[in-house]
A and B are shown apart, each in its own frame.
Chain A
């Protein structure tokens, strides 16, 4: 299970770092090598117990190659035992929520009196096997394999939960590939729809999902579950058409991870028909997040400018007039700012690049300012250049002296 998750990570990482989307970028690695770098936490936890998974199937060593942007577990030649394990897990999933007859004999004493009444009631509440090795044993029997295979899964119940998460991710990828109408929606609706599709896959297991969440939260399992959620979030953003390559990439995924988790937990206690309340909750959260994103961008730039003396506030004014405003809320934020006195310099929020504008070389300062303005992709640098060239507040030299005096 762990290895199949590792195989899925690689294309996601490639997508992030290299944009190998349309090209076929074959990556070969053989089974014993566990993917390094970002996800070595899981490898470290595996090795911490002095446990060496050495696969000595001489003729059965599976080497895999990932091509292009559509990773599929089934494309890779899997070792026979891995397929069998997957079959057992697939069958076990059916037993997770299947109700079964409890053995009431356990609750009756020899005199046929009912003992342990509270235990019985408690028991009736958990009348299905849940994410436990009992479910896996039942699954193994169904497939026709000896139930002792359950002992070969390194973290038994966690293996079942992780298999389910992988399975849902694979189904989501399949749905994304099939559905073309996603491009008709605006990004926020796209994201909301994808999260909804994914959460609906969990709906049949919702009665036992708290148990699955608690299994995922255990220290030995948390690395893998975090990785799986990261892949899921990455997949959703990629399907929603995310093209960012800078810090935005992390911000987006963190925000969506938060939305997904809170909606998942909301769903646990939602009793409305077809989880209507959950979807309403989800839509609210997504809308808020998209609004927040723009406000954060505006705020960051205003913090940049806030560290300059008043003269530079005039760039600010230029920005207001020349750059098309994209969001009414953002405009409010800008317009409501009070103009500053020259003496009352706003203490800079210590942005690391503020120092770039305070060297003794004025030309270097302006160059740095222009470069950063271009990076921010908000401020149209040419407007700044024109403003400087127009000689605001006197000759160019006087202007520059004023600039770096305050």
Chain B
């Protein structure tokens, strides 16, 4: 029953930006992976990697 109009069927009312974000699972997936990867993993790994090696 999937029809072509499915992606553009709600233009009658402007959907608020926040709701657009929340209704987009793949955007959420991106955010939920990117944020911790940058702030936790990459930053943390860089800190460990830059510890000078004991002579």
A, B bound? no
Residues of A within 8 A of B (CB): none
Residues of B within 8 A of A (CB): none
